[in-house]
Amino acid sequence: MPVIAHKSTVQLRTEEGCITLTYSLVSRPVQAEGFDAGEMTEYGIRVEMSGPGERAETAEIQGITCSESEALQLAARIAAGAVTPVTLADVVDDYLAQW
């Protein structure tokens, strides 16, 4: 079961009112196979969006990286860009393509 490792919130003002975006760094243990067998932690990102008169939306991508510092950097970039649940997958894909 994923655990929330870090959480931040961004509020945006629109003509309809205020939208709240909540970014969570989620972690979960995974069993590694092969040479470095043992338990590792993988990190993903969850984005929740809520606003006046809007149905809440949530998107989560698990298993982005096993590096907590890299996951925190990505989460900070996503929050700074006010990424929504609809665009989360595209932003993470672009990030991973840079590797």
Indicate the pTM of the whole model: 0.84
Look at the chain and count its residues: 99
Residue 6, pLDDT score: 82
Amino acid at residue number 89: A
The whole-angstrom separation of Cα 9 and Cα 14 is: 16
The whole-angstrom separation of Cα 92 and Cα 59 is: 12
Question: In the chain, which residues have pLDDT < 70?
Answer: 1-2, 34-38, 54
Residue 47, pLDDT score: 97
Residue 38, pLDDT score: 65
